[in-house]
Amino acid sequence: MLLVAVVLGVVEGITEFLPISSTGHLILAGTVLKFEGKRAETFQIFIQLGAILAVVWEFRARLGRIVKGAVRGDGSREFGMKIVMAFVPVAVVGLGVHDYVTEHFFNPVSVSLALIVGAVLIFVVERFHPAARTHSAEAVSWAQALAIGAAQCLSLWPGFSRSAATILGGLSAGLDRRAAVEFSFFLAIPTMFAATTYDLAKNWHHLESGDFLWLSVAFGLSFVVAWGSIRWLLRYVSSHSFRIFAWYRLILGAAVLLLAR
């Protein structure tokens, strides 16, 4: 079980904020490790909290300003409200389709198809997205925030990637790459926290008493690796496109489809 905890913690940390789908990679990793079923799903859900904590830690100063702004009523409060508004579409749609998606789409074939479709969309958006007119996450307009929130609904398909959906939504709405990535990070906090707490409340009983040690290992690794991944991605997007992630998704998706035949 130590191997499972280490592998899943590292996989979650690396993939959560890159546009390659952490859920898809956790499903594939669980299949390889033969760690599947409701217990495995609950384990994977829990360790996402480590990645959420990494975002909170990385942006703690800016989050502090948002909280203070909510009290004082300054511009930071408006940015916080835009994040909340962007969260609403996936919350509403997710509640409606959650059980159906969990039952029918959490499998390697569905994940591989989502990886491939997401890759194609990355190529399309990179080629045709409008010129950037918004250069910081805090400068996102209400309309842009709503567009990104609507795009996030694509992430309900396991393997598509929440990060890919929101980053592509941001680029399509006129954000530059860094602003799109940063807004995606901020939006991850309410989205992932709501999703994980909802799932854990429903499925906590599937865990075994001995799992808490392994959960702690995976949680800690998820936090540390995710923090490094966040900092790397912020540097990377300053001078690179997202096409490398599209190629990776295409290769992985095609390989999984071939192996699943």
User: How far apart are the C-alpha atoms of 193 and 181, rounded to whole Å?
Assistant: 18
Residue 24 vs residue 160, higher pLDDT: 160
- Using alpha carbons, list the distances in angstroms from residue 225 to 8, 26, 160, 230: 11, 15, 21, 9
State the pLDDT at residue 32: 85
The mean per-residue pLDDT over the stretch 185-199 comes to 86
Spatial neighbors of 124 by CB under 8 A, at least 6 apart, are none
261 band by pLDDT with thresholds 50, 70 and 90: low
CA atoms within 13 A on the CB side of 1: 12
Residue 65 vs residue 247, higher pLDDT: 247
Give the predicted TM-score (pTM) of the model.
0.89
State the pLDDT at residue 73: 65
On average, the pLDDT of the chain sits at: 87
State the pLDDT at residue 96: 86
Whether the pLDDT of residue 12 is over 70: the answer is yes
pLDDT digits (tens, 9 = 90+) for 196-222: 887 777 777 777 777 778 888 898 999
Whether the pLDDT of residue 89 is over 90: the answer is yes
State the pLDDT at residue 248: 94
The mean per-residue pLDDT over the stretch 56-65 comes to 87
The mean per-residue pLDDT over the stretch 91-95 comes to 89
| Domain chopping of the chain, boundaries | 2-260
Percent of the chain with pLDDT over 70: 98
User: How far apart are the C-alpha atoms of 133 and 72, rounded to whole Å?
Assistant: 29
The mean per-residue pLDDT over the stretch 1-14 comes to 89
Q: What is the CA radius of gyration of the chain?
A: 18
74 band by pLDDT with thresholds 50, 70 and 90: low
